[in-house]
Structure 1
């Protein structure tokens, strides 16, 4: 099944990309969730408009992405979480909680889907977090999880 992505889908592509996926994946997940539209000749013409807008936005955002990277790497982010006696958390830290902690620490508003964690955060202490701000720019900062 040929589809046109309308949003970034990790492992598949960016908005405006024409990709070939299995019928079930496209029909049951990508199309109903609004991540893609069915491919047609008319829709393919819209792809060029989407790609042009994306290219202009990326060129404009490269300098901004470097500014945000510098801001994030100089930030001390801490998050309070409920934990047991051994320092093990009740549950795990979610990307949404990390984004809220960055904002509370005075950082920029981030998209939770762009966070890259090395694994689930289930213990107290410092954990590395990466944020893909731009295809060429990735910011890294430490998240300090404290008992709260």
Structure 2
């Protein structure tokens, strides 16, 4: 079953993408919850026309994301965490703490677009990926220090 997404879904696709899903998932979850619409021929034609009209706006949003990515590449974050004597962190550092640190630096980044490659369980330098746009990703470096 083909559907047109009305909003971004992390594991499936982005808004206005035409994706193929299993019939039950589309019929029982996506369409009733207003997340997607059925991709009929008329819906595809309307979708194509809307995409043509919104191409200019999309380019502007992408350029803004690229500018923000250039600024974020220069940012270094230092996060404090409670640690044991061996340097292991009690708990772990996650995307919420990185989002809060970026907010303190003046960048409003949603925590849902931040992903950390490896689990952060010890003091050291790590990398996180921020997905600003479907075509724009930026890696930022952060350091975990003992409080």
User: Does TM, scored on the shorter chain, surpass 0.5?
Assistant: yes
> How far has the Cα of 1:60 moved from its partner?
0.5
1:71-130 C-alpha deviation (Å, 9 max, x unpaired): 111112122223333222222222222111111123x21132322321222222211112
- Normalised to the residue count of structure 2, the TM-score between the two structures is 0.77
Secondary structure at the counterpart of residue 84 of structure 1:
coil
Which residue in the other structure is 1:67 paired with? 67
- Normalised to the residue count of structure 1, the TM-score between the two structures is 0.76
In 1, Cα distance between equivalents of 2:124 and 2:137:
22
Preserved contact between residue 73 and residue 138 of structure 2 (Cα < 8 Å): yes
Larger Rg: 1 or 2?
A: 2
**Residue 109 (structure 1) aligned with residue 108 (structure 2):** yes
Which residue in the other structure is 1:4 paired with? 4
Alignment CA distance shift 1:62-1:2 (3 Å):
closer
In 1, Cα distance between equivalents of 2:104 and 2:53:
32
Preserved contact between residue 15 and residue 50 of structure 1 (Cα < 8 Å): no
> How far has the Cα of 1:27 moved from its partner?
4.7
Which residue in the other structure is 2:83 paired with? 83
Alignment CA distance shift 1:71-1:41 (3 Å):
same
Secondary structure at the counterpart of residue 100 of structure 2:
helix
Secondary structure at the counterpart of residue 67 of structure 2:
helix
Alignment CA distance shift 1:134-1:92 (3 Å):
same
Computed over aligned residues only, the root mean square deviation of the Cα atoms, in angstroms, reads: 2.8
Equivalenced residues, count: 147
